[in-house]
Amino acid sequence: MNKKTQYIARVADQTGQINYPQEENDIWHQLYTRQLDKLPGRACDEYLQGLDAISLPNDHIPQLHEIDKVLLETTGWKTAAVPALISFANFFELLANKAFPVATFIRSKQELDYLQEPDIFHEIFGHCPLLTNPSFAHFSHLYGQLGLAATPQERVYLARLYWFTVEFGLIQSDPETLRIYGGGILSSPGETLYVTGPKPEIKPFDLLEVLRTPYRIDIMQPVYYAIEHISVLDDLAQTDIMKTVKEAIKLGLLPAKFEEKKKVSS
């Protein structure tokens, strides 16, 4: 989260309004409309209900206070405007205080299909709808609390839990029904189609295995983990997650299901 970025977050004026140029509103419109068509039959019901509750505009980037109104009324959460990238400590502290970090910039046309750092479309369209769901919101809050108290090594393992749930989580209530709840998938047209196709491996969620599973942020995931329903996140929040983190650290990582990223020579 401390890597360099080419993007600069926009700052609100004295009224709390962020004035995005028309070009950036047009990018939001393009991202929103093309992704919305791919969600029916793929996104989980809880996400779609949240998307309806938040009622995002399709022709311009929404203001954070508009999102906050719905989140506060449903689960007591709100958003927090942040730069493009923040530290782990800041990230965990915000979640522990029921504030979801939103980088107030939107990707360029050149990176329309893929962006390594999370932008406002990823955060608002991908994640905020599910923050209206009590199970998802409670799990996110607990996760922030755990991360805030964790050691640097433990945070590395906790990052895998977040990756395979909040970012790339799936719901499979039966062998024929697969739905998406991870915001990293829901905000990506390519990954939305990929994950519901024949290629990836989808495994039942197992906390210890998830904590030990390597991942790369710049490829389609070779493996995903599916819970049976969104309330499983409540069950997970009641377990001793940090005890399992310590066990995962002792056991070490599982073999990666992908090739290591090649280092660019200087």
Q: Catalytic: which of 24, 93, 167, 191?
A: 167
Q: How much is the pLDDT for 109?
A: 92
Q: Cβ distance 131 to 51 under 8 Å? A: no
Q: Catalytic: which of 46, 93, 140, 187?
A: 187
What does the alpha-carbon distance between residue 26 and residue 85 come to, in Å, rounded to a whole number? 23
Q: How much is the pLDDT for 44?
A: 97
Q: Cβ distance 80 to 99 under 8 Å? A: yes
CA 114 and chain centroid, separation: 14
Q: Which domains does the chain have, with CATH numbers?
A: 22-251 (1.10.800.10)
Question: Which of the 8 DSSP states describes residue 111?
Answer: G
Which residues does residue 135 pair with via DSSP β-bridges, in sequence order?
none
pTM above 0.75, yes or no: yes
Known active-site residue 167 = yes
Report the 10 Å Cβ neighbour count for 46. 21
Single-letter code of the amino acid located at 66: E
Report the 10 Å Cβ neighbour count for 205. 20
pLDDT in tens, the chain (266 residues): 445 678 889 999 999 899 999 999 999 999 999 999 999 999 999 999 999 999 999 999 999 999 999 999 999 999 999 987 899 999 999 999 999 999 999 999 999 888 888 999 999 999 999 999 999 999 999 999 999 999 999 999 999 999 999 999 999 988 889 999 999 999 999 999 999 888 789 999 999 999 999 999 989 999 999 999 999 999 999 999 999 999 999 999 999 988 877 654 44
Q: Catalytic: which of 24, 46, 117, 122?
A: 122
Burial 10-30 (b: 16+ CB within 10 A, else e): beeeeeeebebeeebeebbee
Q: Catalytic: which of 24, 46, 117, 127?
A: 127
What does the alpha-carbon distance between residue 206 and residue 187 come to, in Å, rounded to a whole number? 25
Q: How much is the pLDDT for 263?
A: 58
Known active-site residue 122 = yes
Report the 10 Å Cβ neighbour count for 2. 7
Q: How much is the pLDDT for 262?
A: 65
Known active-site residue 127 = yes
| Three-class SS of 26-41 | HHHHHHHHHHHCCCCC
Q: Cβ distance 102 to 79 under 8 Å? A: yes
Known active-site residue 247 = no
